Structures are given as structure tokens and as C-alpha cells.
Amino acid sequence: MATISSIGIGSGLDIESMITQLVAVERAPVTKLQTEASSLQTKLSTYGKLQSGMSALRDAAVALARGSTWGATTGSSSDASAVAVTTSSTTLPASYSIEVQRLASVQSNATGVYASADALVGEGTLRIELGAWNADQSSFTPKAGATAVDISVGPPAESLAQLRDKINASNSGVVASVLTDASGARLVLRSAATGEMNGFRIGVTDNDGNNFDGVGLSALAFDPSAGILTMAQALAAANAAATLNGLSISSESNTLSNVLDGMTLTLGKVTTAPVLVEAKPDTASMRKALDSFVTAYNDLNKLLLEQTKYDAASKSAGALQGDSAAVSIRTQMRSLVGASSGASAMFSRLAEVGFDVQTDGSIKLDETKLANGLANLGEMKKLFANSDLLDTANDGIAVRLRKMADQVLGIEGSISTRSEGLRKRLELNQDRQDMLEDRITMIEKRLRAQYTALDKQMASLSSLSNYVTQQLSALNNSNSDN
């Protein structure tokens, strides 16, 4: 009897096709589950987009509910090259008249001319001390909290460049550099910071035994109070001097950050006429915050509209068509934007400051009404940012929207609970698919075993039939010969 190497050969039937069709019938429930899983995944992905959109709306609402947004100011100056202005969140709108008589400066000294930066300056010790000189430099007042710094030079004798590097590494409050021109090289010392208390004197202990002859290291000595002027002074340290609304002010720095609350003035030059500086409400930044809110609101409204609608013409529905949670979110948004508030005595609704709600639920700004709102910032701030713990009817609209977003995005909020429910349904769906796949595998295995046995039986019967036929044919042939 022949051995069957492929199912169906023994019987001549297309058994593989039969098994495939029978398994396909068993797989129909799996296909249905896969279609359902695809729909669930689309809904879950859409809820992810809703969460992102709601978070953006919440952030925009938080900005409008923040008092600093409505208190933002910007600075202006009638001569920014003389007096530049910057403001902060604590700056109050105001204007000032400023005149600059003197800019803050550093002390600057220079040695005599050397052949090059490699020229030797001798050996010994430099002592650098910060402080203030009086008008004729007959006395020196050390700077409070500063300590004199001693710098050892050699042996062997060191060059201008080496001494420069040592001074810069000493943290003495003095900065050194080598100035080279056609005449040669000079060591230039200057205060690290402006202001009269950042002047300096330099004492020298010269290893040649003479600390005042200007030879060797003593060429760097500078102490007018002791009559030592071997190192020339090119510029004296001084405080900035100005008048602010007629009041004299002095500053070690040309940046006046503590003179006016929240306002920083940077002096750039001496003035010949008063400079007007102002801090004004920063309506540009407020408008940016309002535009960000409108954009976030419209983007979320559009997403909700597209995902919950049914298009009769194309007979297609959004992923969340009929989803009560999504529909509820859009309803809450429209309700809050159109609601009234007792926070402001001038404005009770967003529509009064230019927030016009369109038929599709989006917001379009009316520039005229918005300009009127921004012209009344105190009331505009109340309409958006007021928070009344005793009476929520007096909460600002942005405060209400922020609370709504917090609730929706919370652990027990509609987006979170709906997303979690979809994830659980997807897990259950996958479990059912896996169970059915295991069952189908067993069914297919059983079918193949049954049809393989049938094929072998039919092959055996076919072989026996052929044998009987051959024997009958042989018998008939024998009888006919006789």
C-alpha cells in the first residue's frame, strides 16, 4: 500500500481547502474581536488627544487666572542710550524724570613702558588693597569686608605676562592686562568692579631693598597717601551720580536695580536734559495670553466637534460619536464661556470684552470690545482672575475653566476614567482573542488528524478496489480464451 505524503492525495479530495474553510468559519469571532479592538484603540487614542487639548486649555486658563499676567509691565525710555529700563512682575505703572551727571567708573593704573611682555619686573611682594580715595587722594579708606592680598613675585624675576597671570589668579578685586603698542608693553591694572569703594592701592616690598625708587618691582607701587606715585593712574574709581525726580542718587554700579521697586535702570551716558522713563501695562503680553487661550479653546472645541459628529452625507461617524463623556466636556466648555460672573462690576460676561462664540462653538475675538476691556485692566483682571472662596458666583471665568479642567483631568475625572475603561476593554478583548486562537489551534489539529485518517482509509479502499477490478478483468480474459 502506498504511503500518503500529502493530505488529499490518497482520496483525491481538496482536503487542505476544506480544512482552511472550516478554520475560517471558526475564526469569524476572532475577526469580529479584532475589528472591535481597532475601534477601541481609536477611541483610546482620541481620548489621549482630548487629554492633551484639555491640558493646553488648562495651562492657558491658569495664565489668565494669574494676577501677574494682568500686572505685567514694560519699560520705555525717551533716550534708551542714556537710561535703559527693564521691569519685573512687581513693577507698578509709573513715570520718572532722570538726569545722569556721572557714570560709575573703575580705577585704572598703568606702569611705564617695557620692551615687551617678556620683560622682567623684579622680585618681591605686591600687596593689593581695595578701598576709596578721598578727593585729593591724601587718604585711603579700606573697603569693609575686603582683605588685602599679597602676591609673591619670584625668585627668579618674573615677566610682565607672568605677573599679569598671577594678579588675575589672586582674586584681589583687580584685573591685569598687558597693553602693547608701538612704544612697547605696559602692565595695566583696573578694578574688577565700578564704584569708589573699589579703588585700590598697591604696596611693594622690593627684594632690591628699595620700595620707592621705581626700579624693579617698586615700579608697580601706587599709594598717593604716602607720596608713592611710581605707577600712574589713568582713571579714578567713582560712583554713578544722577537725580531721580529731583532727588540725588549715587550708585557703585551703572545698573540701578534697587532704586525703584521692580524696575532696573541701566545708565549709559551723561545726559544734557532730563530722560523720561516709564513703566506701562504690558498689554502685548496680556494679548498674547488671551490669544493662547482662544487658540487652546478653539483647538479642543474643533477636536470634540469632529470626533462626536455624524456625517449623514458620507454616513461616517467620529470615533466618539455618541460618547456621553466627550459630549459632556464640550457642553461644559460652552456653558462656562457663556456664563456670567459677579467678579467685575463693569464686565459680567466674556462676550462683553470681545469673546464672541460662533455657531460651531469656537471663539472669535472682537477687537473693539477687547480694546475696551484692556483699557480697563482692573475690571478685566477681575473678570478672568478673581477667586472668591465664599461665593463661586464671583469667581473669574478663567478660574472656573481651570477648576473644570482640573476635574476632567483628575484621577476620577471623565477623561481618566473613560481612558481606563477603554484600556480594560482592550485587555479583555485581547484575552478573548488569545482564548479563541488557542481553541482554533486545537480544532485545526483535530480536523487534520480526522481528515488524515479518512484520507488513509479512502486510499486503502481505492487500492483494494483497483485490485478487485484487476482480478475480475484477468478472470474475464481467461474465460474468453477458453
CATH number assigned to the domain comprising residue 407? 1.20.1330
Q: Is residue 132 located within the same domain as residue 225? A: yes
Structural domain includes residue 98: yes
Residue 339's pLDDT is 93
Q: Is residue 92 located within the same domain as residue 145? A: no
Q: How far apart are CA 411 and CA 271, in angstroms?
A: 62
How confident is the model over 74-130, as pLDDT tens digits? 999 999 999 999 998 788 889 999 999 999 999 999 999 999 999 999 899 999 999
How confident is the model over 328-380, as pLDDT tens digits? 999 999 999 999 999 999 999 999 999 999 999 999 999 999 999 999 999 99
Average pLDDT over residues 207-222: 90
At residue 312 the predicted structure's pLDDT band, cuts being 50, 70 and 90, is confident
Residue where a domain stops, chosen among 202, 235, 268:
235
Residue where a domain stops, chosen among 167, 202, 235:
235
Structural domain includes residue 52: yes
Tally of domains within the chain: 3
At residue 253 the predicted structure's pLDDT band, cuts being 50, 70 and 90, is very high
Indicate the average pLDDT of the chain. Answer: 90
Strands of 73-183 (E only): list them: 73-77, 83-87, 94-102, 108-110, 124-133, 140-142, 149-153, 174-181
Q: Is residue 208 located within the same domain as residue 296? A: no
Phi, psi of 204 (to 5 degrees): -130, 135
Structural domain includes residue 193: yes
Handedness of CA 25, 29, 30, 34 (dihedral sign): positive
Instruction: Take residue 436 and report the three cell numbers written for it.
Output: 479563541
Residue 6's pLDDT is 60
Q: Is residue 227 located within the same domain as residue 264? A: no
Residue 156 has pLDDT above 50, yes or no: yes
Average pLDDT over residues 151-177: 94
Q: Is residue 290 located within the same domain as residue 273? A: no
Structural domain includes residue 420: yes
Residue 459's pLDDT is 67
Q: Is residue 77 located within the same domain as residue 129? A: no
Range of the domain at 443: 1-72+282-339+374-473
Taking each helix axis from N to C end, the angle separating 414-481 and 397-409, rounded to the nearest 10 degrees, works out to 40
Q: Is residue 143 located within the same domain as residue 98? A: no
Residue 468 has pLDDT above 90, yes or no: no
Structural domain includes residue 438: yes
Structural domain includes residue 368: no
Structural domain includes residue 363: no
Q: Is residue 118 located within the same domain as residue 99? A: no
Q: Is residue 425 located within the same domain as residue 311? A: yes
At residue 2 the predicted structure's pLDDT band, cuts being 50, 70 and 90, is very low
Structural domain includes residue 369: no
Residue 11's pLDDT is 55
196 Cα distance to chain centroid: 42
| DSSP-derived 3-state class of residue 78 | coil
pTM over cut 0.85? no
Q: Is residue 468 located within the same domain as residue 335? A: yes
Q: Is residue 419 located within the same domain as residue 467? A: yes
Q: Is residue 273 located within the same domain as residue 224? A: no
